[in-house]
Chains A and B, each alone.
Chain A
Amino acid sequence: MADLSKDTLLDMYRNMVVIRRLEEKSAELYQQGLIGGFLHLYIGQEATGVGAVWALGEDDHVITAYRDHGIAVSIGIEPKYILAEMMGKTTGVSKGKGGSMHLADKDKHFWGGYAIVGGHLPLATGLALRARYKDENFAVLCLMGDGSTNIGYFHESLNMSAVWDLPVVWMIENNQYGMGTAVDRASGETELVKRAVGYGMKEGPRVDGMDVLAVYDATKEALEYAKKNGPILMESLTYRFVGHSMGDPERYRTKEEVHEYQEGDPIRIFGDKLIGEHKVTQEQLDVFDREARDLINEAVEFATNSPNPEFDDLFVDIYS
């Protein structure tokens, strides 16, 4: 089990709460027309992102798909730069060129969110190639949705990583659906980690993605394995409590099903654990919640007051 100090546990909890409050606020801003494009929320999946990212060592790297806000927060990007990006401002992490789906921070080893399903998988293979090429000791955590396991990129990227023994932790965030298509309607083999066998790759665990510490432990172990031996495929079993993106009528699942999963809210589960096992009080948790709200409100103010890009910016950063 994770040997984490109480302070660290509290920071992880805070991190999860900040994501939740950020997501609720961005939904609000979207409805007001202040955020445009596609907006994919991370509500329900916080334990996966936080557990996985907190397991990263200083030299490790992470890359993910478009559902990337939770990863951005966990890697340490301040919410104000995230919200500014979502609102298309020059102060955004990607200078307003990327939007919600394209957050990144190279200095923090976060190589971005990618909007083409599976498109970032070979990038992860290539990022990891450096470790073997230069004999450096790092691993790349590549998060992806269950839906991305059925595009050719998955096959080619995982196979190549296996042939070259690259240090990649391939982590499927299995939230049971790719848009409206349930895993068993999209994949012949629904235990997605079993795909590893076909690549001669280590079959990793199917971890409880609603338990942040379980995800942390499993990822930590997987990263160590990957650095020493090569790629590993694992799953985090989770669920999104909201639609695929804004305006999803959710005809593919029942309200009852969603409610049932909401009973297992990862933030509440972790909060209860902190209260039960670590002598934390509900009042303390409430303080974190208020602090998170304040942080997000300040972030909205920062983003709102930031300048929009101008015509000339169109042509900046096409080439280096």
Chain B
Amino acid sequence: MKMMTIREAISNALREEMDRDDDVFIMGEEVGVWGGTYAVTRGFYDDYGERRVRDTPISEMAIVGAATGAAMNGLRPVAELMTINFAFVAMDAIVNHAAKVRYMFGGQFTVPLVIRTTTGGGRQLGATHSHSPEAIFAHFPGLYIACPSNAYDAYGMLKASIRDDNPVMFVEHSTLYQKRAEVPVDDPDFMLPIGKSNIAREGSDVTLVSYSKGVHIALEAAEQLEKDGVSAEVVDLRWLRPLDTDLFIESFKKTNRMVVVDEGYPMFGVASEITAQVMDHAFDWMDAPVKRVSAEDAPLPYSRELEQMALPDAEKVVKAVKEIVY
């Protein structure tokens, strides 16, 4: 075990997988000479050269499309989209091609592709650069969506994603890169199973379900709630697809109350889906309506104060919990 940031954990995972398998390579905008927009691949270009660390033109459609073609033809690309906001430009390549070529051709092709990208608001980047649209991608069968909240998970989930034969969108939160945790870097084969979520904190009165940055908000809320005598369990989904329904349903059957924390928009989002799953699988265990704490239903503004008001925070979560725990 070694204490490190999410950035370092991801960087380590990438290096180990590249060292292990020559077919693993990196491509994307500014991944090479620049060292990665979020400095995740700093030093890679010098260490691995331009064959394996490939700077691309500003061509999101071709980054995802070419990475998909390379994966179909036996390579294992880790393609980087600088931020998830630019994934909209590559939507067709992701949704119609990476996710579907296997199915559409009767299983003839495999797509061992990882698309790494960053998500999230809170940095005053304005409406076009502050999206948290993971839910959109989780809509489509054929993709896996990874949303790690901490360094330990990021490390184990990325290694699993690279070794898996399916296309994975690996979504890193841009405000979490400096978060530290113990990471088992001494085990080169450490991996976290795809589609398994995690209890980040045990509790008995209410279940807080979240992922990525939302987990930290939920944990902060849980601390505050504890002072008020409310015991909150926090479920970290880790993956939006495959969605580990079992774990949060099990937790809900214990607490009978739930608040879902989600940085995406409230409509048609992750929180909506979790809520529907509870209706499907645990209606009889419900003691209060499931609550959603999402971003406000407005584009993200530039103003620092206004943007913070638009995003979920611990205070909003505590308030939502108090509405249903009585």
- Which residues of A come within 8 Å of B, CB atoms? 61, 92-98, 102, 104-106, 111-112, 114, 116, 119-130, 133, 152-153, 155-157, 159-160, 163-164, 316-320
Contacts and interface: CB of A to CB of B under 8 A. Distances in A.
A138 to B, nearest CB: 10
16 contacts: A94-B105, A112-B101, A122-B69, A125-B66, A126-B69, A126-B70, A128-B69, A129-B69, A129-B75, A130-B73, A157-B61, A317-B103, A317-B106, A318-B103, A319-B144, A320-B107
B72 A102 contact: no
A130 B73 CA distance: 7
A98 B104 contact: yes
Contacts of A98: 104-106
A160 B103 contact: no
Interface in B10-63: 25, 51, 54, 56-57, 59-62
Contacts of A129: 66, 69-70, 73, 75
B312 to A, nearest CB: 31
Contact of B142 (A96, A126, A319): A319
B50 to A, nearest CB: 10
Considering the complex of A and B, which 8 residue pairs feature the smallest CB-CB distances, nearest first? A122-B65, A126-B69, A95-B106, A317-B107, A156-B62, A123-B69, A126-B66, A156-B59
Interface stretch (B89-97, B222-230, B266-274): B89-97
Interface of B: 25, 51, 54, 56-57, 59-62, 64-75, 77, 92-93, 96-97, 101-110, 141-142, 144, 165-166
Q: Which of B25, B60, B73, B93 has the most CB of A within 10 A?
A: B73
A124 B97 contact: no
B102 A320 contact: yes
A320 B165 contact: yes
Nearest to A106: B108
A160 B57 contact: yes
Contact of A153 (B61, B106, B142): B61
A121 B97 CA distance: 11
B102 A317 contact: yes
A153 B68 CA distance: 14
Contacts of A152: 61
Contacts of A121: 62, 65
Contacts of B105: 93-94, 97-98, 102, 104, 106, 112
Contacts of B66: 122-123, 125-126, 129, 157, 160
A320 B72 CA distance: 12
Contacts of B102: 317-320
A94 B106 contact: yes
Contacts of A122: 61-62, 64-66, 68-69, 93
B111 to A, nearest CB: 8
A117 B258 CA distance: 45
A119 B94 CA distance: 10
Contact of B65 (A102, A105, A153): A153
Given A157-B66, A160-B57, A123 B97 contact: yes
Of B69, B72, B166, most buried by chain A (CB within 10 Å of CB) is B69
B106 A97 contact: yes
Nearest to A97: B106
